[in-house]
Structure 1
Amino acid sequence: MPKLFCVVVGHEGSPFSVNIAADETVDDLKKKIKMEKEYQFPADELHLYRVDGLTQDEDEQFVYKGTTIDMTTCSLDFFGEDKAKMPPLSFISERFNEADVNTRWKIHVLVVIPREIPPTGKRSIEELGEIVEASVNKVFKDRDEKRSVYSLSDMNSEKKRRILQKMGLTVNVLRMKEPRDVSIPGYPWIDEFPENQEDQRAQYMAYLEMHLMTLLDEDVFSLVDIANDKTVLDTVDPRLPFRIKGTADVLLAKSNVTNLIPMAGLCIVIELKKKVEKNHINQAIGQLMCASIKAPLGCFPMSLLTDLNGTWHFCYFSDKSVLTQVIF
């Protein structure tokens, strides 16, 4: 009996398998998915799509055509012509052949669930009261969230998810393997000082001036130390789910008037860490969002998270709705 691996579009969760015979129909598959996931709506409200090019690797990351993606932020349109809706009365054997089913790590089916529909039928006064209370609480929660202000340094995966969802962004992750240039020494962090301590900042700014600015036209580009300017990236914008406050460490700008207009000609917003950890990526993505919103017209900045040694994490918009991360 064939085993199909399915994943729900735009939702958190792992792929799940469904055993179904070749002579059963897509409608039968819907019923089995409903039972597997314990959905509380009719099976015929599910929409199922065959998908090509989608797998999950050994690290449990979703990979589409060789590129790591974030399934929680993907829409159905993201898969373009690699998806095909499966009519309910078609046989499984018409949708998948033996080679499809026996391909390891392959995701076979995209599942689209309906928006939540309140259950029908009569309710007790107590049930109606609970529904009204929940609705009122949601209104107040939404209001409070709009008033909320979050710091870039406190950005976590949940806040990042809300930003990506509100802005309708899909994430693309590229891991690059480039030969290391040993002619440029790594930055020697002063262990006893934090990253934003004055002596530390003076030393890494000198390091960047020596090894970065010598490669650029100093009459055109500027490095700006913004670590102590705590409001540079403060952002209030209806495209965001909440207000954001904070800063980064350094700006690289294609401008010589950054002392008057810090964001003028912004190219890269840089966050420096002695040791780059996974949660720092959320901060870097938040910095990119704020920098992109605040940058003058014609500027398309990227963010850089680095320890100035072996870790270099770039973030930028490769398309209007695609956030690309490149990790060296």
Structure 2
Amino acid sequence: MRQEIKELREEKIEKVSYSTVSSAQFSSFCMQSGFIIQSLEYKGNLPRKDIPAFNWSKYAENFVEQRENILNYLEEHLGEKLPRNVIISEVASERGFLNTVDALVKKAGVRAVIELKKIVKSSHIKQIILEMIAADLFVRDEIKVFGLLTDLKSAWHFFWLEEGKKIMTVKMTHRNKALDFACKLADVYRDQSKEVNLIGLQKVQRVKIREL
């Protein structure tokens, strides 16, 4: 498995970035590694009240002022929810890290890879999955990296790894509930367990890529 990941990363460094991996390349990777993508449905009750959606400017996602506004938004609505000493970092300018990753939740290692898009498209799913898998190889054994693809509005797509070589995913539309879920996933010391419980969703039992 680790050799397969290494070979794919080497190919991408030479030919493509995470964001330009083709459907054929991604399908080949999943077939060779044995990964399957399985979707879950969130069935919890949603409060009527929610935090405001992010107000995107007319500029691109990577525009400096835009990124500063995004970080301020995440700090305002996510910062107090995060486990102690876990911070959000903007790393779009750090090309040495996963090539093209946007933001992280981290403490002595990556907790999450977050892809921020004005408009979320199905083609972005390949990118966030590959970034999540690559990031999971870098961090300590007790940290299980998850991925989040979001427009900071009504599309919050979470991804994580489970036994059986499953790439699990769930979409949420309620912003506050989505941020609560992100914080639970980021807390690696919660009950010293692989499990993450959220009312309305089956038990989440994450594993590391090395365990598959």
Q: TM-score, normalised to structure 1's length?
A: 0.46
Once the two structures are TM-superposed, the CA of residue 300 in structure 1 deviates from its matched residue by 0.7
C-alpha RMSD of the superposition: 2.2
Retained in 1: the 8 A contact 2:62–2:92?
yes
Retained in 1: the 8 A contact 2:109–2:138?
no
Retained in 1: the 8 A contact 2:12–2:18?
no
- The 1:146/1:308 distance shift into structure 2, 3 A limit, reads closer
Once the two structures are TM-superposed, the CA of residue 163 in structure 1 deviates from its matched residue by 1.6
Retained in 2: the 8 A contact 1:302–1:316?
yes
Per-residue deviation, residues 78-133 of structure 1 (Å, max 9, x unmatched): xxxxxxxxxxxxxxxxxxxxxxxxxxxxxxxxxxxxxxxxxxxxxxxxxxxxxxxx
Q: What is residue 194 of structure 1 aligned with on the other side?
A: 60
Aligned 1:240-279 pairs, distance under 5 A: 246-253=99-106, 255=107, 264-279=108-123
1:304 matches 2:148: yes
AA aligned opposite 1:226: V
Aligned 1:64-213 pairs, distance under 5 A: 148-178=14-44, 179=46, 182-191=49-58, 193-213=59-79
Q: Distance in 1 between matches of 2:156 and 2:12?
A: 33
Once the two structures are TM-superposed, the CA of residue 181 in structure 1 deviates from its matched residue by 5.8
AA aligned opposite 1:277: K
Q: Tell me the SS of whatever aligns to 1:278.
A: coil
Retained in 2: the 8 A contact 1:224–1:250?
yes
Q: Distance in 1 between matches of 2:12 and 2:61?
A: 32
Q: Distance in 2 between matches of 1:297 and 1:307?
A: 30
In our comparison, the structure showing a higher alpha carbon Rg is 1
Q: TM-score, normalised to structure 2's length?
A: 0.70
Q: Distance in 1 between matches of 2:13 and 2:97?
A: 20
- The 1:214/1:146 distance shift into structure 2, 3 A limit, reads closer
AA aligned opposite 1:221: V
Once the two structures are TM-superposed, the CA of residue 297 in structure 1 deviates from its matched residue by 2.8
Once the two structures are TM-superposed, the CA of residue 182 in structure 1 deviates from its matched residue by 3.2
Retained in 2: the 8 A contact 1:155–1:286?
no
Q: Tell me the SS of whatever aligns to 1:294.
A: coil
Percent of counterpart pairs with the same letter? 30
Q: Distance in 1 between matches of 2:35 and 2:157?
A: 19
Stretch moving more, 161-170 or 197-206: 161-170
Q: Tell me the SS of whatever aligns to 1:165.
A: helix
Structure 2: 5+ residue runs without aligned partners? 1-9, 173-212
Q: Distance in 1 between matches of 2:103 and 2:127?
A: 14
Q: Which has the higher helix share?
A: 2
- The 1:309/1:182 distance shift into structure 2, 3 A limit, reads farther
Retained in 1: the 8 A contact 2:150–2:156?
yes
Retained in 2: the 8 A contact 1:316–1:324?
yes
Structure 1: 5+ residue runs without aligned partners? 1-143, 234-245, 256-263
Once the two structures are TM-superposed, the CA of residue 183 in structure 1 deviates from its matched residue by 3.0
Once the two structures are TM-superposed, the CA of residue 231 in structure 1 deviates from its matched residue by 1.9
Q: What is residue 88 of structure 2 aligned with on the other side?
A: 223
1:315 matches 2:167: no
Q: Tell me the SS of whatever aligns to 1:290.
A: helix
Retained in 2: the 8 A contact 1:313–1:326?
yes
